[in-house]
Amino acid sequence: MSGDKRRVLGLDYGAKTMGVAVSDPLLLTAQGLETIHRKSETKLRRTLARIEELAEEYQVGTIVLGFPKNMNNTVGERGEKSQALVEALERRTGCRVVLWDERLTSVMANRTLMEEGVRREKRGQYVDMLAAVFILQGYLDHRNNEGTEIN
């Protein structure tokens, strides 16, 4: 399989959850896979192990990690934590990791779930995974429209 045709994994990195999505083999669409839960923000070992398993299972070459920026385009605490996670993901999976602006993806995910009639108490189960889908789909659309990979 050529390097640019390997699947792409999308991640929405939250304080205690990690939403996960994967591209189709043609790199056109994003599908939600799961939400990984952890007991505390600093407990990443099992989360990284699960991402490594998924990367192997789906033959992933690139990981797109949501990069939460402030609305004024500055990088806050959550963004710094995402930047710090890049090296751990690259080391653990051997995949290239791309930071992708995720502003408003959680808002879009919540809105989509509301429009689909998902009850408020159930939305939390899906919002992180759906945000990962929006992050990954944004990356794929940009990549396919530009015709090049994004660094």
Residue 71 in domain: yes
Residue 23 in domain: yes
Q: Give residue-wise pLDDT tens across range 11-57.
A: 999 888 999 999 999 999 999 999 999 988 778 999 999 999 999 99
The whole-number pLDDT of residue 3 equals 45
Report the SS3 class of residue 149: coil
Q: Which of 142, 130, 143 is nearest to 104 (CA)?
A: 130
Residue 35 in domain: yes
Which position has the higher pLDDT, 60 or 127?
Answer: 60
The whole-number pLDDT of residue 136 equals 96
Residue 60 in domain: yes
The whole-number pLDDT of residue 91 equals 95
Strand (E) or helix (H) holding 151: none
Beta bridge partners of 20: 11, 34
The whole-number pLDDT of residue 149 equals 60
Which position has the higher pLDDT, 11 or 78?
Answer: 11
Which position has the higher pLDDT, 20 or 77?
Answer: 20
Whether the model clears a pTM of 0.85, i.e. scores above it, the answer is no
| Counted domains in the chain | 1
Residue 151 in domain: no
The whole-number pLDDT of residue 24 equals 97
Question: Taking 50 as the threshold, does the pLDDT of residue 122 lie above it?
Answer: yes
CATH number, domain of 77, equals 3.30.420.140
Average pLDDT over the chain, rounded to an integer:
86
Average pLDDT over residues 74-92: 89
What is the residue range of 124's domain? 3-146
CA atoms within 13 A on the CB side of 56: 7
The whole-number pLDDT of residue 110 equals 66
The whole-number pLDDT of residue 40 equals 83
Residue 40 in domain: yes
The whole-number pLDDT of residue 5 equals 55
Question: Taking 50 as the threshold, does the pLDDT of residue 2 lie above it?
Answer: no
For the sheet with 7-13, list strands across it.
30-37, 17-23, 7-13, 60-67, 96-101
CA atoms within 13 A on the CB side of 135: 31
* Amino acid at site 44: L
Mapping DSSP onto H, E and C, the string for 17-63 reads EEEEEEECCCCCCEEEEEEEECCCCCCCHHHHHHHHHHHHHCCEEEE
From the number of C-beta atoms within 10 Å of its C-beta (0-12, 13-18, 19+), residue 121 rates as exposed
